[in-house]
């Protein structure tokens, strides 16, 4: 094979031996999936791991400046076959990759080294990683400053892996990394791929030990200023800021949620109430759901004046359920209202009739199955809350009009019977199916009058002929 030929050429002193070696690695990488399947099934007589490690070990002793493309290919192959190669070879290449990104080596080698690090860091023993992690983080920050638009995604991905593997060391470098990542995020806010990568790196920093408080303190003043003056911001910056805020709120302790609430809650509600930008409204809806999930009933206390916060949340829900709005704007209203029901049920009870009426109007003007399904989940959750008085809930639906139908019960059951199969997620499926069971178990007389779309059940009838013997 070509690998054997490359070895022979190298022994013979040929300058081109590395080309065959690199081509062999490339061929192996191109067939990685097939090789994994063949090895797992026992269909190949070759040991992929032994061959691969032999090829990779031969690269280690060669000059990186003399054979940059060979080294770049070897790093990429290590990333692709990390689950196959031995711990010893993995550790050897982790150290080589760490040295490569910190050294003056050709760009292809640094790209390959980043790929190897992104894959190896989550997999290898922390005892090996910890002594090298500060050097890796520092080198990646330097790379980030020099990265082109083409390599930025890879450097951010590698940095995310390094931060997740950094443990307590990440705290030491947070003051250096966070401002740079925030700058990358702001500069590339119009690029969804790079901005999402940057937010994921910031999320890794947030989850690192000791980094949450300093990161929030760094983010909040800028984000608060952006959301407080949304109409003068560049395109995408308000929606991106809301996305960043939602990430900060997710699984955050109460003290952090309150800090974000004090700075950004009113601005977020006002964006829902006043903005005409679809992205801003969608992201603000998700952000409000995160506020409720994190702050729960404490939000009602933090808002000061009694009833003020609840009124703002209900006003936001009312606008998002407005049938005049385009359906895509309301896409996340279901998760927002669900959080209200889960965490503020007693405060929401007086408003249930208005809420159901708004849900029915929104469903009747929407053609998006995902939106309708999310609103069916809301109805199902309200049915659960009404137990053991489900009959009364049915009577409530009977009292609410629905355009083109006798009442809201008839309309909702018609839609529900068609959409149940479209509902996604274990929680949502469980809530909706058990709610249907609760409805049917009431044996309410109005249910028997409703006709819904069903599926034709074909019954196969077998004719059995008996032949009489004479």
Reply yes or no on whether the pLDDT at 1 is more than 60: no
Reply yes or no on whether the pLDDT at 45 is more than 60: no
Q: pLDDT tens, 219-264?
A: 999 999 999 999 999 999 999 999 999 999 999 999 999 999 999 9
Better pLDDT: 449 or 240:
240
Better pLDDT: 68 or 60:
68
Reply yes or no on whether the pLDDT at 460 is more than 60: no
Q: Is 405 helix (H, G, I), strand (E, B) or coil?
A: strand
What single string gives the DSSP state of each residue in 50-79? Answer: HHHHHHHHHHHTS-TTTSHHHHHHHHHHHH
Q: Is 402 helix (H, G, I), strand (E, B) or coil?
A: strand
State the chain's mean pLDDT as an integer. Answer: 87
Mean pLDDT of 368-373: 92
For residues 442 and 388, give the distance between their C-alpha atoms in angstroms, rounded to a whole number: 10
Q: How confident is the model at residue 51 (pLDDT cuts 50, 70, 90)?
A: confident
Q: pLDDT tens, 116-155?
A: 999 999 887 777 788 888 889 999 999 998 888 889 999 9
Which one, of 393, 390, 412, lies nearest residue 401 by Cα?
412
Reply yes or no on whether the pLDDT at 470 is more than 50: no
Q: How confident is the model at residue 466 (pLDDT cuts 50, 70, 90)?
A: very low
In the chain, where the domains are located: 1-124
For residues 354 and 340, give the distance between their C-alpha atoms in angstroms, rounded to a whole number: 14
Q: pLDDT tens, 396-433?
A: 999 999 999 999 999 999 999 889 988 999 999 999 99
Q: pLDDT tens, 179-199?
A: 999 999 999 999 989 999 999
């Amino acid at each position: 094979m070509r690998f054997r030929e490359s070895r022979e050429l190298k022994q013979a002193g040929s300058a081109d031996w590395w080309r065959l070696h690199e081509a062999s690695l490339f061929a192996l990488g191109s067939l990685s999936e097939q090789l994994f399947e063949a090895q797992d099934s026992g269909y190949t007589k070759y040991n992929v791991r032994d061959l691969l490690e032999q090829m990779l070990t031969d690269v280690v002793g060669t000059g990186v400046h003399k054979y940059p493309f060979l080294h770049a290919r070897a790093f990429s192959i290590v990333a692709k076959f990390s689950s196959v190669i031995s711990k010893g070879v993995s550790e050897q290449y982790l150290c080589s990759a760490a040295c490569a990104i910190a050294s003056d080596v050709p760009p292809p080698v640094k790209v390959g080294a980043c790929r190897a690090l992104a894959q190896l860091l989550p997999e290898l023993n922390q005892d090996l990683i910890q002594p090298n992690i500060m050097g890796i983080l520092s080198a990646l920050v330097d790379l980030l400053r020099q990265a082109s638009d083409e390599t930025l995604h890879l450097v951010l991905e590698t940095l995310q892996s390094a931060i997740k593997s950094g443990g307590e060391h990440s705290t030491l470098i947070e003051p250096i990394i966070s401002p740079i990542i925030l700058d990358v995020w702001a500069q590339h806010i119009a690029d969804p791929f790079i901005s999402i990568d940057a937010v994921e790196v910031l999320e890794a920093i947030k989850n690192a030990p000791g980094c949450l408080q300093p990161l929030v303190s760094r983010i909040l003043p800028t984000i608060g200023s952006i959301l407080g003056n949304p109409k003068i911001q560049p395109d995408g910056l308000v929606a991106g800021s809301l996305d960043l805020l939602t990430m900060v709120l997710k699984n955050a302790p109460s003290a952090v949620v309150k800090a974000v609430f004090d700075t950004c809650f009113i601005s977020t509600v006002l964006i829902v109430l006043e903005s005409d930008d679809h992205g801003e409204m969608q992201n603000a809806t998700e952000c409000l759901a995160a506020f409720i999930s994190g702050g729960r009933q404490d939000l009602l206390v933090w808002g000061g004046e009694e009833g003020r916060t609840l009124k703002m949340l209900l006003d936001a829900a009312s606008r998002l359920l407005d049938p005049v709005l385009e359906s895509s704007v309301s896409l996340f209203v279901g998760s927002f209202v669900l959080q209200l029901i889960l965490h503020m049920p007693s405060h929401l009870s007086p408003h249930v009739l208005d809420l159901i009426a708004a849900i029915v109007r929104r469903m009747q003007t929407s053609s998006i199955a995902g939106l309708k399904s999310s609103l069916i989940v809301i109805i199902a959750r309200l049915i659960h809350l009404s137990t053991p008085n489900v009959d009364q809930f049915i009577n409530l639906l009977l009292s609410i009009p629905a355009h083109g139908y006798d009442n809201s019960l008839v309309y909702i059951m018609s839609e529900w019977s068609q959409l149940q199969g479209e509902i996604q997620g274990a929680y949502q499926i469980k809530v909706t199916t058990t709610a249907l069971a609760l409805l049917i178990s009431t044996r309410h007389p109005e249910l028997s009058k409703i006709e819904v779309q069903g599926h034709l059940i074909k019954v196969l009838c077998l004719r059995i002929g008996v032949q009489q013997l004479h």
